Structure 1
Amino acid sequence: MLEYFPSLNDHNLPYPDTIHPIVVHFVIAMVLFAFICDLIGYFSRKSSFYEVSWWNMCFATLSIFVAIIFGQVEAGLAQPYEVVQPVLNLHTLIGWSLSGIIAAITAWRYILRSRNPNKIPITYLGVGLFLTSLVFFQIYLGDELVWVYGLHTVKVVEAVKEGILQ
């Protein structure tokens, strides 16, 4: 059965390089841009910014699930050593939580948009600020996994295979 699975490369992946960071950067950009558009629309009273924000949140909602799928696959293949495990677990927990939070905020936005597409309440901006803060914390954790702990870098993969890191 195992002969049907592709062999892993020196990044410990079945494909050339990590895909999760590529997809997740779209999610990050769309969520942050949606919040900026909401702020601009709120203070300038130009409802066209709300339309841009709405579509960014829709695509972010779909994209985060793709990012999570690749994140789960790549986390499973990372062979995380003991020191990195708590950071990876927190990053995973927040990632799954963000998928629900983003979907809920998008659903709320749909209701607001259905009632009045030219206005959003200040509480929605407060929730957007919370979401933005959570995204920045998630970015920090992801950066830590790559730049501090070196997940899927060739030297760390080799060190784990040789038993140097445990």
Structure 2
Amino acid sequence: MFEYLPPLNEHNLPYPDTIHPIVVHFVIAMVLFAFVCDIVGYFTRNSKLLEVSWWNLVFATVSIFIAVIFGQIEAGLSEPYNAAISTLNLHTLLGWSLSGILAAVTGWRYVIRSRGSQTLPVPYLALSLLLAILVLFQTYLGDVLVWVYGLHTAPVVEATRGGKLS
């Protein structure tokens, strides 16, 4: 069965480069931009900004599930060494959690929007702030995995394949 799969490249991937970071950067940008639009829209009473925020949340919610799927595939192919495992596990757990939290926030936002409200409740804004903080922390963890531990970088893959990392 495995002979039908494409061979892994120097990044230990069956395709040219990692897809997870590409998709996840859209999620990061959309969630943070939605939060900024919510805050500015709340204080200026600009309903158009609230509409922009809504659509950013919708697309971020769809995109995060794509990012998590590719994240799982790429995490499984990364062959992490001992030093990176705890960070990778936390990043994975938080990624799955964020997909649920983002879906819940988007659902709540849908209820607010469907009631025709031209403003947002403060508890919603507080939860959006928490979501933005979690997204920033998740971004930090992803940066550590790439820039500190070098997962899916050619030198680390080569060292792992050569048995120099465990």
Cα shift at 1:116: 2.6
Cα shift at 1:114: 1.1
Q: Secondary structure at the match of 2:70?
A: helix
The CA RMSD measured in Å over matched residues stands at 0.6
Residues 11 and 17 of structure 1 are in contact (CA less than 8 Å); yes or no, is this contact kept in structure 2? yes
Cα shift at 1:15: 0.4
Deviating above 2 A after TM superposition, structure 1's stretches of 4 or more consecutive aligned residues are none
- Unpaired segments of 5 or more residues in structure 2? none
Q: Secondary structure at the match of 2:109?
A: helix
Cα shift at 1:117: 3.4
Partner of 1:14: 14
In the superposition, the TM-score normalised over structure 1's length comes to: 0.99
Identity %: 67
Cα shift at 1:2: 1.5
Cα shift at 1:159: 0.4
Partner of 1:106: 106
1:130-149 residue pairs with structure 2 within 5 A?
130-149=130-149
- Unpaired segments of 5 or more residues in structure 1? none
Partner of 1:163: 163
The separation in 2 between residues aligned to 1:2 and 1:152, in whole angstroms, is: 21
Q: Secondary structure at the match of 1:83?
A: helix
The separation in 2 between residues aligned to 1:117 and 1:84, in whole angstroms, is: 46
Residue type matched to 1:103 in 2? A
Partner of 1:69: 69
Residues 11 and 152 of structure 1 are in contact (CA less than 8 Å); yes or no, is this contact kept in structure 2? yes
The separation in 2 between residues aligned to 1:42 and 1:119, in whole angstroms, is: 6
Cα deviation code 1:61-86 (max 9, x no counterpart): 00000000100000000000111000
Residue type matched to 1:15 in 2? Y
Partner of 1:2: 2
Residues 47 and 117 of structure 1 are in contact (CA less than 8 Å); yes or no, is this contact kept in structure 2? no
Q: Secondary structure at the match of 2:151?
A: coil
Partner of 1:117: 117
